[in-house]
Amino acid sequence: MVPPSRDVVFLLSDLDLPLRDRTYREPDGPHVVIVRGRELDSALDHLDARPDCRALAVIGLPREVPDLDLMIGRRLLVCDADRGRMREFAEAGMAAGAEVEWLNSESPDLNRLATWALPVGSVVLAAGSALRMGTNKLLLDMGGQPLVRHVVEAASDGGCHLVHLVYSDEAVREAVSGAAYCVYNPDAATGQSTSLQAGLNSMPEDMAAALVMLGDQPLVGSRTVSLLLRAWRREGARPAVAAAYGERASWRPPVLLDRSLWSEVMALEGDAGARQLFEQRPELLDTVLASGRPDDVDTPEDYAKIVHLFPRPSQG
């Protein structure tokens, strides 16, 4: 069973970062810390006292590199305009056993910080039977590669930290070999909800949310993925965010699910997936206007139309 909540972002300095669910107070559960370099000693004391602090970002590094042994098994982000100082901190962090990233700026871009603090994985649902097509639609050729691979690439190129693809047909797993972590669903015939649950269960604990994509929507595009991630990470966003393709259109997949919703998704049954949840509780969902195309492939006519639209717009 997936953990019911995700890490919150604890701002240990006077940083005005409009991230979702940020806090300036000591958090109760798992969290990440963002701190200015001048308060790094206080942050390290915090890490020593709180084993559930899983990551530390330092903006503007102090001149001296402190003992970073507490960073073992944790994520570390160092941000500074001085490349030499940044390299020293990064090397010390790696020597301590931390997973280190760096940004060459003392005023890093908010979206870059948000991406680090609130990582999102993608679940690509690719275990359907495709009865109306008479063949596995996910393997149909689109621009020289299997249709489903375009969906995987959109998730990765759009900023998802990792991509997990749920499959039932071995040929689908082979088609995305190396591009996604594949999760077998032996219960795929009982409905899409089982594939969604299998994908969420496979997510690492540090994923704050999951972007759920359908394997037969090759025209969604990486820009729509990026748009959804940015919308979900902003301060005040609802737990779920989905795309709408037109001013009066209802939402269509992909949909981004905060980890706090996953336990409710685990109770769903049948073939409607997360839509069941939002039909009952629409207040959980934000929609953003997207420029891509949500066309899916259910019939030979659908496939012919999408082939005609290819190559997929890079800004889709």
pTM of the model: 0.90
pLDDT over 90 percentage in the chain:
73
Round the average pLDDT of the chain to a whole number and report it.
Answer: 90
- Chain-centre distance of CA 108, in angstroms? 20
| pLDDT band (50, 70, 90) for residue 131 | low
Chain position carrying tokens 């503007």 = 60
Tokens of 252: 């269509």
For CATH 3.90.550.10, list the domain ranges present in the chain. Answer: 119-309
Q: Read off the pLDDT of residues 258-287 as tens digits, 9 standing for 90 and up.
A: 999 999 999 888 777 788 899 899 999 999
Which class does domain 119-309 fall in?
A: alpha beta
CA distance 148 to 167: 11
Backbone angles phi, psi at 47, to 5 degrees: -60, -35
